[in-house]
Every structure is written in C-alpha cells, then in structure tokens.
Amino acid sequence: MTSESAHNPAQRPPRTNALMLFFHHLGSPPWFYAFAGKCVPVLWILFAVLTVTGLYLGLFKAPPDYLQGESFRIMYIHVPAAWMSMMIYAGMAVMGFIALVWRIRMMEVLAMCSAPVGAAFTLAALISGSLWGKPTWGTYWVWDARLTSELVLLFLYLGVMALYSAYDDQRKGARAACLLAVVGLVNLPIIHYSVKWWNTLHQDASIGLSGSSIHPSMLWPLLIMAIATKCFYLANLLTRARVMLLEQDGRKGWVRDALAGVRG
C-alpha cells in the first residue's frame, strides 16, 4: 500500500485521491498483474522468515504443556490453519459479493483463486486436528461441534470449486460460484450454531483446550504462525490470480507484452 504513489502516473485527475485511484487501478488486469508481480516475492520471503521463526519458537523454545506434553505443539499448524479456513471463506464470499454487485472481473478471479487455498487450509486443519486428537482424546475423530462445522465448511469449499469447474465458460462459472459462496456465507453461522447446539444436546461435555489462557511463550509462536499463514495465503492467491489472468487474457496485447518482457 505504501508504494502506491510510486505507481501513480503524473497525470492523475485532481479530484480523485490516491487511494481511490489505487483501487481503480487494481481493477485493471494488466496493472494488477504488474502490481501482484511485485508483491509476490516480498510475501513469499515474509512467509518463509515468519514460518521458520514461528516454528522454531513453537517447536523448540516453547515449554511442553503440563497436561498434553509435547503433542500440543501440533497447535502451531492446526490453529492457524483453522483460522485461515474461516477467514478465507469470509473473504471469498465478500469478494464474490463485490464481483456480483459491481461486476468487477478482478474480484471474480480473486474469489475463485481463494477457494482452493481455503479448501487446502480446511483440509490441513482437519488432518492435523485428527492427528492431534489421537494422543489427547484417544481417537482420530469425534463428532464434536467444531470438527463437524469444519467438515461442513470443507464441503462448502468443494461445492464452490466443483461448480466453478463444471462450467465451460470460466466467467459464467466464476459468477455462479460467487453466488454460491455468498449463499454459503449467509448459511454458515446458522450451520455453526445448529451444529454446536446439536453436539451439546447429545454429549454432556465438550472437549476444548486444557487451559483458558495460554502462556506468552506459547502464544507468541502461534501469533507469528498466524501471520505467516496469511502471507502464504496472499502470496499463493496473487500467484494463482496472475496465472489465471494470463490464461483468460491469453490473446490480449498486454499479456504478449508482459511475457515478451519475461523472455526478452
């Protein structure tokens, strides 16, 4: 965001402020392609540095949990992945809504590129969660409220991706999938609360984390990892969006120019 003034051409209209201009620019594929190309390496480096730091602090420096022993360390993968799975869905639905209402093509592209990343995070959260469940709860799977809503979330992601890929016309598929994502977002709180309530009806005690507060030496690596996963998401998203733009606009002039720059 700080570098926006550097990209603004000198002939910008006097009545538009720089931030608005920046957003307008982002709607144009060639400009977005160039801008994302500058962001991606920075984000990947940030992601690598943060992940190495976070994992080092989490896996080697943080003391073992007094109840769960060493196995709690899986939290440093599991919890950020679970956070991201929900955040990406919300982001995807908001972008889908913008794409449908204002018909901005970049938003369609970004929303559709979010879906596979979000689904991957959901799957990672589910797998790491069940691996964590084995030593702590003694079983790989419990029909616990959180697990179940995470599973339903995975199904929603898969639905969006399946709908998108079912259409031959990419833009039509993207718009249909955006609408489905918005419908899913309206439904998601209802699903979450009904599942939570269903679980408490059938089961007396819900299984949660052992302690109510986390010691700072354990918390900091978690927060670092949470930021690292966000960098991963953004970097992955922008990389995917650039490729998708190249695919969709393959015959347009700006793509030829951009690729000529790479080759030349």
In the list 98, 104, 131, 191, the residue contacting another protein (rule: CB under 8 A) is 191
If binding is defined by CB under 8 A, does position 143 make contact with another protein?
no
State how far the Cα of 92 lies from the Cα of 118, in Å rounded to an integer.
Answer: 9
Interacting positions 213-232 with another protein (CB under 8 A): none
Task: Tell me how crowded residue 177 is: count the other CB atoms within 10 A of its CB.
Answer: 26
State how far the Cα of 179 lies from the Cα of 52, in Å rounded to an integer.
Answer: 38
In the list 12, 103, 172, 215, the residue contacting another protein (rule: CB under 8 A) is 172
Q: Which stretch binds another protein (CB under 8 A): 41-49, 136-144, 168-176, 223-231?
A: 168-176
Which one-letter amino acid corresponds to residue 145? A
In the list 82, 111, 152, 238, the residue contacting another protein (rule: CB under 8 A) is 152
- Angle, helices 29-56 vs 105-137, to 10°: value is 20
State how far the Cα of 141 lies from the Cα of 148, in Å rounded to an integer.
Answer: 10
If binding is defined by CB under 8 A, does position 141 make contact with another protein?
no
State how far the alpha carbon of 83 is from the alpha carbons of 18, 225, 252, in Å. Answer: 32, 11, 38
In the bound complex, what is the minimum distance in angstroms from residue 160's beta carbon to another protein? 9
In the bound complex, what is the minimum distance in angstroms from residue 200's beta carbon to another protein? 11
The size of the chain, in residues, is 264
Residues that bind another protein (CB under 8 A): 100, 152, 155-156, 158-159, 162-163, 166-167, 172, 175-176, 179-180, 182-184, 186-187, 190-191, 194-195, 197-198, 201
